Each structure stands twice: as structure tokens, then as C-alpha cells.
Amino acid sequence: MLDILVSGLLLSGTYALVAMGLNLQYGVARIMNLANGEVLVLGALAAFWLYTTSQVSPLLTVVLVAPVSFAGNWLIYRYLLKPLVRRSKSQGALEVDSILATFGMSFIIIGVMVSIEGGFFAYKYLSEPISIIGSTTSLNRLVAFGVAVLIGGGLYLWLNHTRAGVAVRAVSVSTEASGLVGINVPRVSALAFALGGAITAVGGALISTFITLDASIGVVFTMKALIIVIMGGVGEIRGAIVAAAILGLVETAVATLIDPGLTLAAAYLIFVLILLFRPQGLFGRRAL
């Protein structure tokens, strides 16, 4: 029981981080990015590849992956998504377009990853057991959790205590009003999208230290991140943390007590309950 609690909470750290990334992309840039999971797996692939070929520590990879993913996502937003934002006549039309375009991107990323590594991204890093408060878990989970908390906390402080962070939050509340008070909305949107992508890829590199991924698993993580964002409420960082904890705990419980193959089914169960009883999210004020 304690084992479930500990590993569930440790897992939820990275989940919360990844959901923060998606929140920036959907809540601020207003792009429903269904390639989110693939960006995550790309981060994982980078960690795996650098570790197995040149013994680069995944923690160092995190530092490398962040700027690369930031740049990549910025380019994607600038050259592929912004034209869609511009041509769309309504939020609905933009949603359909961005969903289809990001599907395209997700398949292209999968295609590229498969040609690099078709099998599982399996490697061992800090996998020695460690015992905390009477429960045994592996060191890599603890380290990943710590790094996730560090980055997530940094992001939270940045959003709340810097000029740029406040601009990002303003755009998430209202693009129109932000434009009126002199915020450069297109720039902030691009920044949020790129930052969201960077965080997602970092989350992927962290997850890869304790979960074995493969090129086509991205969609599962997209689903989980979306469920967390919906459960927490769009744009709600605290909501996302609580939601990630719930998902992490439920998944770990299901995986330990019933079957590891049912984690996605467990996530769906939570999703259905949210849709039926609280579509605006646990803490949210507006529905999607």
C-alpha cells in the first residue's frame, strides 16, 4: 500500500511537469497539440541514444534537450501553426486544423524515430533500489521526481514573478484583452508553445530513466497529459498538480493490484468520470 503511494506520487511529478507543458501550449497558445506525446518520446529517445552510444547521463541530456526542443517547437509554431491561426475564422476551425496538422507532425516524428530506433528504448540508469519512509523504490524515480519538481517550481515562479511570465498568464486569460493592454500576443503565444514543447521533451527524458518507451507510445502520453489538463482545469497549475497526483496514484494502484496493461483504461475511467460530473475540471472555471 505504501509502495503504491510512494511510486504513484513519484510518477505524478513527471506527469505534472508534462501537463504543465501541454497547458502552456493549449491554455496560452490555444493550439491543441496532439503531437505532444511524440515530443515527449523524442526527449526519451535522445536520453536513450546519448546514454547508450556515448554514456551521457540523462540528467545532462535534459539540459541539452530543453533548448533544442524549444527551438524546434518555436519553428513549428512560427512556420506551421501560425499560418493556421491566421487563416482560421473561428476557434472551432482552428481546433480542427491544429488537430489535423499536429497529427501529421506526430506521425512524421514517429516515422523519423522508428528509423533511428525501432525497438524499445531500454537502458539502465540509477536503477539501484532505495528505501524511503519504509518503502522501496528505485533511485531513478526519485531523481526524476526531484528534477521535475525543480523545473516545475522554477516555471511556477517565473510565471508569477516575472514580467514575461505575467504576460503569458494574461494571454491565457484573454488573447483580446492582452492585445489591448499592449502585450505582443503572437510573440507570447510562440514563446509559450516553444516553452511547452521544451518542458514536454525534458519530461520525456526523465520518464525514460524509469519507464521503457518505444517510438509509437507517444499517443498514450498525449492522452494522459490531456486527461490531467482537463481534470485540473485548463490553465490551472495547481489543478494540474493535484490531477497528476490522482492519475499517478490510480495508475500505480491499477498496475500493482490488477495489471500493468490497464493503466490507460484506468486513465479513461477517470476521464469519463470527469466528463460526466465536472467537465470544467476540478479547479477550472471554464470548460475547454
Partner 1 sequence: MKPSGWLELLIAAALVVLAAFVPMFANGYWLSIAVTGMMYIALSTSWALFSGPTHYISLATGAFFGVGGYMVGTMMSDYQLSFWVPLIVAPLVAAALALLIGIATLRLSGVYFVIFTLGLAEMIRNLISWIQNNFLGSRGLYVLTDFRDHHLYWMLLGVAGVIYLLGWIVNRSRIGFALRIIGNDETVARHVGINTATAKVIMFTTTGFFAALVGAIIAPRWSYIEPNQVFSPQLSFLVVIMALLGGAGRLWGPLVGVIPFTIIWEWVGVQFPNQSTLFLGLAFLLIVYVLPNGVVGRIEQLRDRIGEGRS
* Among 218, 16, 215, residue whose Cα is nearest residue 116: 215
Query: Is residue 75 within the footprint of partner 1 (CB under 8 A)?
Result: no
* Among 29, 18, 34, residue whose Cα is nearest residue 199: 18
> What CA–CA distance (Å, rounded) separates 93 from 111?
27
Contact flags string 85-104 toward partner 1, x per CB under 8 A: -------xx-xxx-xxx-xx
> What is the total count of residues that contact partner 1 (CB under 8 A)?
48
Query: Is residue 211 within the footprint of partner 1 (CB under 8 A)?
Result: no
Site for partner 1 in 32-71 (CB under 8 A): 32, 34
Query: Is residue 112 within the footprint of partner 1 (CB under 8 A)?
Result: yes
Given the rule CB under 8 A, which of 42-50, 189-197, 223-231, 243-251 is the region that contacts partner 1?
A: 223-231
Given the rule CB under 8 A, which of 79-87, 133-141, 180-188, 189-197 is the region that contacts partner 1?
A: 79-87
> What CA–CA distance (Å, rounded) separates 85 from 283?
28
The cell for 152 is 516545475
Query: Is residue 106 within the footprint of partner 1 (CB under 8 A)?
Result: yes
> What CA–CA distance (Å, rounded) separates 103 from 228?
20
- Shortest reach from residue 258's CB to partner 1, in Å: 8
Single residue of 5, 64, 68, 264 touching partner 1 by CB under 8 A: 264
The cell for 100 is 489535423
Site for partner 1 in 153-172 (CB under 8 A): none
> What CA–CA distance (Å, rounded) separates 15 from 228?
8
- Shortest reach from residue 64's CB to partner 1, in Å: 25
Contact partners, residue 168, CB within 8 Å, separation at least 6: 24, 28, 159, 188, 191, 192
Given the rule CB under 8 A, which of 45-53, 172-180, 194-202, 212-220 is the region that contacts partner 1?
A: 212-220
Contact partners, residue 38, CB within 8 Å, separation at least 6: 105, 106, 109, 110, 113, 218, 222
SS3 state of residue 72: helix
Given the rule CB under 8 A, which of 42-50, 111-119, 130-138, 238-246 is the region that contacts partner 1?
A: 111-119
- Shortest reach from residue 229's CB to partner 1, in Å: 10
Terminal Cα-to-Cα distance of the chain (whole angstroms): 35
Query: Is residue 177 within the footprint of partner 1 (CB under 8 A)?
Result: no
Query: Is residue 117 within the footprint of partner 1 (CB under 8 A)?
Result: no
Q: Which long-range contacts (CB under 8 A, 24 or more apart) does 275-281 make?
A: 279/230, 280/233, 281/230, 281/231, 281/232, 281/233, 281/234, 281/236, 281/239, 281/243
Query: Is residue 257 within the footprint of partner 1 (CB under 8 A)?
Result: no
Query: Is residue 222 within the footprint of partner 1 (CB under 8 A)?
Result: yes
- Which residues contribute to the site for partner 1 (CB under 8 A)? 32, 34, 80, 83-84, 92-93, 95-97, 99-101, 103-112, 114-115, 118, 216, 219-220, 222-223, 226-227, 230, 259, 261-262, 264-265, 267-268, 271-272, 275-276, 279, 287-288
